[in-house]
Amino acid sequence: MNLITKTPDLVHFCQSLKGTPFVTVDTEFMRENTYYPILCLVQVAGPDDAAAIDALAPGLDLAALFDLMDAPETLKVFHAARQDIEIFYHLMGHVPAPLFDSQIAAMVCGFGDQVGYENLIAKLTKARIDKSSRFTDWSRRPLSDKQIQYALADVTHLRDAYRKLVAELEQNGREKWLEAEMAILTSPATYEADPMQAYRRIKARNAKPRVEALLCELAAWREREAKRRDVPRNRVLRDETLLEIAHHAPKTPIELERTRGLGERLAQGPQGQEILKAIERGLAVPDAQLPKAEERDDLPSGIGPVSDLLKVFLKMICEETGVAQKLIASASDIDNIAAYGAKAEVPAMEGWRYEMFGQAAVKLRSGEMGLAIKNKKVVLLDNSK
């Protein structure tokens, strides 16, 4: 049973991986009752060995693991890495490096948008994943042999999948594409939640600017309170309650007490005072500084058919190249290209996206190129000749 519970064993295991070109990594965590995820288990596999690290083992020092996560010569391979990296960022204070996300690589290599781990492993290695321990409580001890083997399979299968993805990236010359897509994942800003932006998670349909300002202050207070108490946001106050407070803007504890789902005890207590202070801050925001609705592109009328044609072309390109549509252009991007051509300020007008799609899309829009059906396939025609 490859379970590490003692610091010397962890140090020995991590030292055995020193200098290895890559390791595959996965985590098991719980966050149902906390703001920050509780790390329960870390699975790590090198080219020839694998182990599960019991992060909840009494007295276990994870310093050797963090050193491995920082080793510049060793690539850390994850699948759908964002939540895993969030955990390491919280514990280490920075993003592990260098990184490789097999889900992003799979999109670049033509396995579809956000391909799941099981599907990717099945396609690349023909292995079948045992799903029986998927919903296990990873915080409960002791862990069974079956749980540990299930957890280890995530990194041992990923090891094989990584090798095949790298070979495919090298074969089709798309390594640089992957680097560009990894930028968000490796940015510390991705894992730093700004309390003043927390209100954007709350669906406030057609809210007036003043209500938005109040909601901004209330959500920021809730975010800080949830962090301080290390509880889920809705354990502090539910979204619906924040919205109701923002709409009615109570100014006294008695008025606040009338809010559905709040109650007298909270309204009259210290948290009630903090909520009222947040309301005061929201009401004090000058009109000129009130949150503005997200500006939508004021696109000219009549571009619908052009957008539809460009979407057909995008689908054709993606089927030919095996690249996920999501990586090249969104529906909004297509509308912008239809409206503004080469002047559209969208990712498809830069770098590899421009070479693959944007350049020809502009010519298609201008009539220099066209689409036709030949042998039951859509093909691009050069109209300039």
Task: Report, as ranges of residue numbers, the positions in the chain whose pLDDT lies below 50.
Answer: none
**What class has domain 195-289?**
mainly alpha
Domains 3-191 and 195-289 share a fold: no
CA–CA dist 142, 60 (Å, integer): 15
Beta carbons within 8 Å of 1's beta carbon, 6+ residues apart:
145, 148
Let me know: does 17 contact 10? Beta carbons within 8 Å: no
- Backbone phi and psi for residue 132, each to the nearest 5 degrees, phi listed first: -65, -25
Return the pLDDT at 177.
82
Instruction: Determine which helix (DSSP H) or strand (DSSP E) holds 79, and give its type and residue range.
Output: none
CA–CA dist 314, 347 (Å, integer): 14
CA–CA dist 57, 51 (Å, integer): 14
Let me know: does 325 contact 314? Beta carbons within 8 Å: yes
Return the pLDDT at 87.
96
Return the pLDDT at 383.
83
Return the pLDDT at 365.
93
Beta carbons within 8 Å of 211's beta carbon, 6+ residues apart:
204, 246, 247
**What class has domain 3-191?**
alpha beta
Return the pLDDT at 321.
85
Taking residue 63's Cβ as centre, other Cβ atoms within 10 Å add up to: 13
Return the pLDDT at 385.
67
Let me know: does 88 contact 65? Beta carbons within 8 Å: no
Torsion sign (Cα): 160, 166, 169, 172: negative
Residue of 302, 304, 309 whose CA lies nearest to 371: 309
CA–CA dist 208, 211 (Å, integer): 5
Q: Establish how many alpha carbons lie within 13 A of residue 132's alpha carbon, considering only the half-sphere containing its beta carbon.
A: 8
Domain ranges of the chain: 3-191, 195-289, 304-382
CA–CA dist 40, 139 (Å, integer): 6
- Backbone phi and psi for residue 231, each to the nearest 5 degrees, phi listed first: -130, 160
Hey, what long-range contacts does 132-136 have (CB within 8 A, 24 or more apart)? none
Let me know: does 225 contact 277? Beta carbons within 8 Å: no
3 state SS of 58: coil
Return the pLDDT at 273.
96
Return the pLDDT at 178.
84
